[in-house]
Amino acid sequence: MLTPHYTGRFAPSPTGHLHLGSVYTALASFLEARSHHSLWRLRFDDLDTPRNVAGATTHILQTLETLGLHWDGEVDYQSWHLDDYHAVLADFITSGKIYRCQCSRKNLTDIYAQTCRYQCISPDLPHSLRIKTDDQQIIFDDILQGWISQNLATQHGDFILKRKDNIIAYPFAVVLDDARQAVNHVVRGMDLLNATPKQLYLQHLLHLPAPNYLHVPILVDAKGHKLSKQTLATAVDLTAPNRVLFQLLDWLKQMPPFELQNENVGNVLEWAIQHWNVARLKGVKHIAI
């Protein structure tokens, strides 16, 4: 029986189809796990319910299967664990680590001025929940991006754990999710690098182990914009899934041999697992396609 020292995961949001940018990250995460003979979990980050799209989970599962990216165990859904997030929030309220905030979300990019930190706001009024941060430096060694050092107070401020519309915020939810799934090796896109210091802070408060982090470059279009649903990136064309994998391996700088594009999905992945060298992406922040 294999006792994995390493568990990875892919955690898409069911907000639409998988586009090339998302399968790029999925493949990197899959290859990191499989080349370490390790588990690869699948979870749907489905808490932002207004953005969820009916049928997206089915489409995503089919896309991963067609590309041969098979996951281990049952698929997990954040929405199954709402009670867990709320239980931690209740503890945080009791211990004074978080506070209610009634401010509007207008200036999301600004550091929050702590306006509501010392006010008494009724739980019956609509409010977000913010965590108290202090002037400390969060430092971590990203496997690809190197040492990252950010100040919690001046670069993040008192950040939101639960939005005013009751949606649990991403950095808080994934801390509990990764712990629940025993994930200790997080591979995801560079666009989430800045969520990491918040997660490390929460893991520290909750006495949870911090996973290793590996942030892969994001794919950008000719104008330098990230491929995303917002930029209307189209669904992956699955008429030739082996060619899709070949293209992704090229963008992952794995230098796949030309003949490989005529091999079937299983053979392409087998080659990719054997030859996987993530260091070729060291320090790369985006890939223009």
Query: What is the nearest approach in angstroms of Zn ion to the Cβ of residue 107?
Result: 11
Site size for Zn ion, by CB under 5 A? 4
Query: What is the nearest approach in angstroms of Zn ion to the Cβ of residue 100?
Result: 8
Query: What is the nearest approach in angstroms of Zn ion to the Cβ of residue 115?
Result: 4
Nearer to Zn ion, 43 or 127 (CB): 127
CB 214 within 8 A of CB 186: yes
d(CA 75, CA 12): 11
Nearer to Zn ion, 116 or 281 (CB): 116
Nearer to Zn ion, 55 or 126 (CB): 126
Quickly tell me which residue has 């963008």 as its tokens: 251
Nearer to Zn ion, 66 or 115 (CB): 115
Maximum pairwise Cα distance, the chain: 67
Q: Which of the residues 17 through 46 are near Zn ion (CB under 5 A)?
A: none
Query: What is the nearest approach in angstroms of Zn ion to the Cβ of residue 274?
Result: 53
What do you get for the CA distance between the two ends of the chain, in Å?
Answer: 42
Question: Which tokens hold the place of 142?
Answer: 């990203």
The CA-based angle 8-152-127, given to 5 degrees, is 90
Query: What is the nearest approach in angstroms of Zn ion to the Cβ of residue 110?
Result: 12
CA 53 to chain centre: 19
CB atoms within 10 A of CB 192: 17
Nearer to Zn ion, 58 or 115 (CB): 115
d(CA 175, CA 206): 9
Nearer to Zn ion, 101 or 287 (CB): 101
Query: What is the nearest approach in angstroms of Zn ion to the Cβ of residue 204?
Result: 24
Helix (H) or strand (E) holding 268: helix 265-275
Q: Which of the residues 77 through 116 are near Zn ion (CB under 5 A)?
A: 101, 103, 115-116
Question: Which tokens hold the place of 38?
Answer: 């390790």
Query: What is the nearest approach in angstroms of Zn ion to the Cβ of residue 172?
Result: 17
- What are 69's strand-pairing partners? none
Question: Which tokens hold the place of 189?
Answer: 């896109």
Nearer to Zn ion, 116 or 169 (CB): 116
Give the residue among 264, 196, 212, 281 at the shortest CA–CA distance from 25.
281
Q: Which residues bind Zn ion (CB under 5 A)?
A: 101, 103, 115-116
